[in-house]
Amino acid sequence: NEGLVEAWKTHFVNDSNVTVQHGDIFQTMPQAFVSPANSFGIMDGGIDRYYSDTFGWNLSKRLQERIKWIYPLGEVLVGDCVVIAATLDNADCWMISAPTMRLPRRITAENVFLATRVAVFEALSQGFKELAIPGMGTGVGAVPYDEAAKAMAYGYGAAVKVFNERLK
């Protein structure tokens, strides 16, 4: 969406490590993708449906199994994440599921901040060199583009700051 892209350009203007792109999230194949799937790992709508169509419909099943392995009650809360291989045949392509919502519904920019922060921190911790992040909370979550972009920029900045502090 061009409106979201313009908002990203505004809020990430001073960060040379962030490239804002308009178009298909698969136009480049980064090492990892972020999925804003809900807390239960159901990936049948929005960008998550696109990921499932691209990587295979077992992606959601594998994510749900991983969630249940880590969280016996079967849900990962907003502000936490789970990492899985995006495909079974390419160990260099990963997906970070950082839910923006427990269940599909409207959310606030706070959820976008929390999900972005944990996804970026996890990517840095895993040593991923490139991470593709879609508009977090801008679909079903209905967060206005400017608010979402601002929350994503804050989340990104907070993750980088904490990660760098841990390296000292």
Instruction: State the virtual CA torsion across 131, 55, 139, 121 in degrees, nearest 10.
Output: -30
**Tens digit of pLDDT at every position of the chain (168 positions):** 899 999 999 999 988 899 999 989 988 888 999 999 899 999 988 899 999 998 988 999 999 999 999 999 999 999 999 999 988 776 689 999 999 999 989 999 999 999 999 999 999 999 999 999 999 999 999 999 999 999 999 999 999 999 999 988
The pTM for the full model equals 0.95
pLDDT at 90: 64
CA-to-CA distance for 150 and 139, rounded, in angstroms? 16
The H or E element spanning position 109 is helix 109-126
DSSP 160: H
The pairing of strands 94-97 and 32-35 is parallel
